[in-house]
Amino acid sequence: MTFDPTKSDRELHHRALVRAAWGTVPAELPPPPDPAPLAVAPTGRRARRSATRLLTLLLFGVWLVGCGNHHQGVVLWHAYNGAERTALESTAAQWNAQHPEQELELVAVPYGAFADKLTSAIPGGNGPDLFIYPQDRIGDWADSGVIEPIEFWLDDKRVERFTNEAIAAMAYKGSLWGLPVTVKSLALYYRTDLVETPPASTDELLALAPRMHARDGYAIAYANVDLYGHAPWLFGYGGKIMDDTGKLAIATPEAAAAMGFARELVTTGAAPTRSDGAYVATLFNEGKAATVMSGPWFVADIASNVPWKVAPLPVVSATGRPAAPFLGAEGILMSARAHDKTAAFAVMDALTSDQAAIARARLARQVVPNPAAYEDAEVARDPVLAAFRAQLANTVPMPMGPAMRMVWTPYKTALGEVLAGRAEPGEQLLAVEREVHGYLSGPATH
């Protein structure tokens, strides 16, 4: 337990006036001593002394300015690059033009360190006020008090500017923890020079294989050893990660069937044995893969001379259900230690407005969760956004419980073993479930 008055927003509330006075101090600093004596200083000691004094004053000034600015405005951390970053920055610039008193400061943080940084900085009162992150950590962070519930500020009208799936992805334990910025799922990219109509079922997909074989290629390429890439088959076959009560339900006959299908794709030569993002792009660009299962980010990897389109994923012929990828939603979340929560929410609200969504869809081709954005003429014309929007109807929200984060690696190992033909799906799935249980149990059983 710590008492640190400087880091408490309640304290700030009580001291707002005092702080305002502090903010003016730097302006009243005496002007720095004339630097001229430095140049003509007769003795080294005097020059040194005035230099030291100057330095001290400068440092003091910097410190004061730092103090004065520290709590004003809203700080948002993000891990965006390229067009997404430009789009976010343009919306931020708009906010800043309209609200000079509540300046929004964007801080780009490398994605690799993002989550760990937040988890360690926020409880100490040092993190950002807002940050953009996929929803899969919401459960963790909500349970450990890192993020702030926001439904207090919301009403039906505000919430209904998002699609149900997207806003539901921000809900956990009956509260809302963020506003969605973009939704990401897989869809089917296909080369129009190799297939005229995209395969509507997995049977049609398998039927493509012989023709592609003749070209030394594959019917479909996707990140098949990753759970994320495999998920469309898993859910298309009716498999699960967790049941409705949040308990692990990894080893089911349906999941085994889905893994069996992934193996069939490999053994029949319809898909390469082990592929990741870079390899998938190479195959597609060289015309060695007729279709690719990937997300909106794949557009950037396609060579300019490749004729392509995007369509929703095919139906799983064995079950008649459409293949359903994970739905990942990225949202703006609020730190539980945000300095001015009302102001932070206003920023959140503005950055996820329909206008902001249109700007992001236009500039960064983000699949935005605001239906109104698709009424914008330019956004409506974009066939890629249309395909991904159509896919949204058949998606499974990524589970948010802390257990989910421990599933990825064991599942990947299991897929690798099965696809390499070294193990049977059933036994591997059991091993995954055992391993995740092993992580969850500990000396202090929670």
Partner 1 sequence: MSHPVVRQLRDFVLGSALAVIIATCAFVAVRNRELAAKQIDLASRAADAIAEGQAPLPTVHAVLVGDAVPSTKNPYLRQREVKDGDEWRPLTAGGSFDDKLFYDAASRFERQGRQPFKELLKDGSGCAIAVRDAPAYAQLGHVADRSRGIAIAVTPPAHPAPYPFLVMIGVLGLGAALAAAGALVGGRAARAGTFAGVAAVAIPCVLWRAPIASTAIVLVAAALALAQGAQLTDRLATGMRRHRTALGFLAPAALAMLILVAAPFVIGLVLGFYDHHQGTWTFVGLDNFGEILSGGGRPLDDPLNFWFILGVTVLWTVANVALHVTIGVSLALVLSRKWLAGKGIYRMLFILPWAVPNYITALIWKGMFTGEYGAVNSMLDYAGLDHVSWFGSWATAFSANVITNTWLGFPFMMVVALGALETIPKELYEAAAVDGASAWQRFRHITLPHLRPALGPAVALGSIWTFNMFNVIYLVSAGQPGGATNILVTDAYRWAFERGERYGMAAAYATIIFFILLLWTVFGTRVVRRKGDDS
Q: What is the binding site for partner 1 (CB under 8 A)?
A: 1-5, 7-11, 13-14, 116, 119, 123, 125, 140, 143-146, 148-149, 151-156, 159-160, 167, 171, 173-176, 272-275, 279, 282, 336-337, 341-342, 345, 402, 405-406, 409-410, 413, 416-417, 420, 422, 431, 435, 438-440, 442-444, 446
The nearest distance, CB 102 to partner 1, in angstroms, is 16
Tokens 């990140």 belong to which residue?
223
**Smaller CB distance to partner 1: residue 2 or 304?**
2
- When the beta carbons of 229 and 410 are compared against partner 1, the nearer one is 410
Q: Are strands 74-78 and 171-172 parallel, antiparallel or unpaired?
A: unpaired
In the complex, least distance from residue 77 CB atom to partner 1, rounded to whole angstroms = 19
Report in angstroms how near the CB of residue 152 gets to partner 1 at its nearest: 4
Query: Of 75, 56, 72, 69, which Cα lies nearest the Cα of 25?
Result: 69
Residue closer to partner 1, measured from CB, 254 or 354: 354
The encoded tokens of residue 178 equal: 């963020």
Shortest distance in whole angstroms from residue 442 CB to partner 1: 6
Q: Whose Cβ is closer to partner 1: residue 142's or residue 379's?
A: 142
In angstroms, give the least distance from the CB of 133 to partner 1: 16
C-alpha angle 35-41-42 in degrees, rounded to nearest 5: 170
Nearer Cβ to partner 1, position 169 or 231? 169
Least distance to partner 1, CB of residue 443, Å = 4
Task: Return the number of the residue (101 or 116) whose C-beta is nearest partner 1.
Answer: 116
Least distance (Å) between residue 409 CB and partner 1: 7
**Contact by Cβ (8 Å): 205, 314:** yes
What residues form DSSP beta bridges with 179?
332
Nearer to partner 1, 99 or 321 (CB): 99
Please state the closest distance from residue 304 (CB atom) to partner 1, in A: 23
What's the rounded Cα separation, in Å, for the pair 275 and 356? Answer: 36
Q: Which is nearer to partner 1, 84 or 417 (CB)?
A: 417
CB 226, min distance to partner 1, A = 13
In whole angstroms, what is the distance from residue 244 CA to residue 166 CA? 19
For partner 1, which is the closer residue by CB, 184 or 341?
Answer: 341
In the complex with partner 1, which residue's Cβ is closer, 35 or 421?
421
CB of 51 to partner 1, least distance (A): 22
